[in-house]
Amino acid sequence: MTAGARGQLQNEPLGAVLMWIMRPLQIAAQGTVHWLTGLRENYDTLAGFRAENERLRQRIQNLEIERQKLLEAQASNNRLKQLLDLRSQLSGTPITASIIANSATSWFKSCVLDKGISDGVRKGMAVVTPLGVVGQVVAVTARTAKVLLLTDANSGIDVLVQRTRSRGIVSGSLENGVLLKYVKRSEDIQEGDRLITSGTDGVFPKGMMVGTVIKVSKQHIGLFQSIEVLPAVQSARVEEVLVVAAERAE
Amino acid sequence: MRLFLLYFLIGLFLILLQSTFFSLLPLGPIVPDLILVLCVYLGLHHPTVGAALGSFVLGYSVDVVSSRLLGFNAFAMTLVFLAVYFSSRSIWLHHPVVSSLIVLCAAVVKGVAMVLVWVIFLSMEGFWLGAVKYIVMEALVAAALAPVVFSLLRRGENYFNKFGAVA
């Protein structure tokens, strides 16, 4: 103790031995402490990252939802803009309506609109979109209207082949989809020909797109050609339509 | 009367499903006919005049929503109910396993009824092959759905009866 007090510890052999023994242990222990400290800090950092990650993930989800809403609003806006453009081109006062239900049976192709008599919709009015003809109103109540689609087997629309001005009737069928009927064998009809409304049926405005010819065949017998048509409007994908008053040809 | 009301509400719900959500199913032009399954269920388990009237009303409701001709489905569904009712009197049809088979046969009866009315009143061009395709596909889809719908209807009815007893 006296030697220690006098600052002579470096010459004290027992202390030197102890220090010699302790030194590597202390270095190892201190290393472990540093490692553990680092581990804890890493854990804290990692936990922070995890929380941050979770927060960012949530934010991405929210932004994605907002983005979807904006995209949907933009798409809806575009559709309505196209409807407005079409509306300005049509005579009379077309009524904008939304499709609220489709056919509940396989045998008929129809849909229900959210507008009825109180909105000015009447039986026999044409239903169109900027892409073309959808169908015709066949029944109407105060607030709804039932539309017979172009693809129904009992529909019939008077059309012109845009290229040759040949006439025919476009109608749906249970068997072959949509057909162009009553076109003479001698008429020149080719795949890709566009069909437009003739305007002579007193229902559809003249020049509305109806569909495109996708297959032409002439059977051995019969007066008419067999012509399959791809409708311009895929009714299952339509949400908003214009209901147009009947228009008599001059 | 309360049971009649319950089935009418279920019928309206099924028509709502058929006219909205079922268009999302990848079945092409075929709409699963749950109203047909409901009418078969009524014919098997509630063979009363009220249920026959209910089948007519359900078919008529489908017509109101979808058909060009009113009475088309009303006729077909009433015929289905009567066919199931008269069959169940002479043949034992109540086993759950055979529900699919019954609905399959009922769908064929309905299809034949539709064809009969169609031939009389509507366009015939391109009809026959299409009609056969529709009858077969509708029958298969309805038969596949029948056990689930029957089970749900039975459970709903049991729950309704218990609730009614408590109330």
Residues A162-197 have pLDDT tens digits of 999 999 999 988 877 899 999 988 888 999 999 999
Q: Which of residues 171-230 of A touch B (CB under 8 A)?
A: 171, 173-176, 179, 181
* DSSP letter, residue B69: S
Partner-chain contact A103 B15, CB within 8 Å: no
Q: Is residue A2 part of a domain?
A: no
pLDDT band at A247 (very low <50, low <70, confident <90, very high): low
Using a CB-CB cut-off of 8 Å, the residues of chain A touching B121 are none
Chain A with chain B: Cβ pairs closer than 8 A: 86
Q: Is residue A3 part of a domain?
A: no
Distance CA A53, CA A59 (A): 10
pLDDT band at A1 (very low <50, low <70, confident <90, very high): very low
Can you give the residue ranges of every domain in chain B? 2-12+30-147
B153 touches chain A (CB under 8 A): no
Domain that holds residue A229: 157-233
Q: Is residue A25 part of a domain?
A: yes
Same domain, A78 and A104: no
Same domain, A84 and A96: no
Q: What torsion do the CA atoms of A171, A167, A234, B127 make, to the nearest 10 degrees? A: 20
Q: Is A211 exposed, middle or buried (0-12, 13-18, 19+ CB in 10 A)?
A: buried
Q: Which residue in the set B16, B30, B72 is minimally distant from A106, CB to CB? A: B30
Using DSSP bridges, classify how beta strands A126-129 and A132-140 pair: parallel, antiparallel or unpaired: antiparallel
Q: Is residue A39 part of a domain?
A: yes
Using left for φ > 0, alpha for ψ between -120 and 50, and beta otherwise, residue A124 falls in: left
Mind listing the pLDDT tens digit for each residue in A61-114?
Answer: 888 888 888 888 888 888 888 878 777 777 778 899 999 998 888 888 999 999
pLDDT band at A249 (very low <50, low <70, confident <90, very high): very low
Same domain, A20 and A85: yes
The length of chain A, given as a count of residues: 250
Q: Which residue in the set B31, B68, B127 is minimally distant from A175, CB to CB? A: B127
Q: Is residue A47 part of a domain?
A: yes
Q: Is residue A8 part of a domain?
A: no
Distance CA B21, CA B11 (A): 15
Same domain, A141 and A161: no
Give the total number of structural domains in chain A: 3
The percent helix, strand, coil of chain B (3-state, each to 5) is: 80, 0, 20
Partner-chain contact B62 A104, CB within 8 Å: yes
For chain B, 167 residues long, give each residue's pLDDT as a single digit of tens. Answer: 777 888 888 998 999 888 888 888 888 888 899 999 999 999 988 888 989 999 999 999 888 888 877 888 999 999 999 999 888 877 766 666 688 889 999 999 999 988 888 888 776 666 778 888 889 999 999 999 998 999 898 888 888 888 766 55
Same domain, A80 and A139: no
Task: Give the pLDDT of residue B166.
Answer: 58
Boundary-marking domain end, from A89, A123, A143 = A89
Query: pTM for this structure?
Result: 0.74
Partner-chain contact B73 A154, CB within 8 Å: no
Partner-chain contact A236 B23, CB within 8 Å: yes
Cβ-Cβ contacts under 8 Å for B106 (sequence gap 6 or more): B36, B39, B40, B43, B80, B83, B84, B142
* pLDDT of A10 above 70: no
User: Residue A184: how many CB atoms within 10 A of its CB?
Assistant: 12
Boundary-marking domain end, from A44, A60, A89 = A89
Partner-chain contact A110 B68, CB within 8 Å: yes
Partner-chain contact A107 B15, CB within 8 Å: no
Higher-pLDDT residue of A9 and A205 is A205
Nearest CA-CA partner of A168 in A136, A200, A132, A126? A200
Task: State the ipTM, two decimals.
Answer: 0.83
Boundary-marking domain end, from A89, A114, A129 = A89
Closest residue of chain B to A113, computed from CA coordinates: B65
Contact B103, B143 (CB under 8 A): yes
CATH of the domain at A111: 2.40.10.340
CATH of the domain at A222: 2.40.10.350
Distance CA A171, CA A149 (A): 9
Same domain, A19 and A83: yes
Same domain, A17 and A80: yes
Same domain, A79 and A19: yes
B35 touches chain A (CB under 8 A): yes
Partner-chain contact A174 B30, CB within 8 Å: no
CA distance B167 to chain A (A): 35
Using a CB-CB cut-off of 8 Å, the residues of chain B touching A145 are none
Using a CB-CB cut-off of 8 Å, the residues of chain B touching A171 are 123, 125
* pLDDT of A248 above 60: no
CA distance B30 to chain A (A): 5
CA distance A39 to chain B (A): 54
A236 touches chain B (CB under 8 A): yes
Exposure string over A113-147, b if 16+ CB within 10 A, otherwise e: bbbbeebebeeebbbbbbbbbbbbbbbbeeebbbb
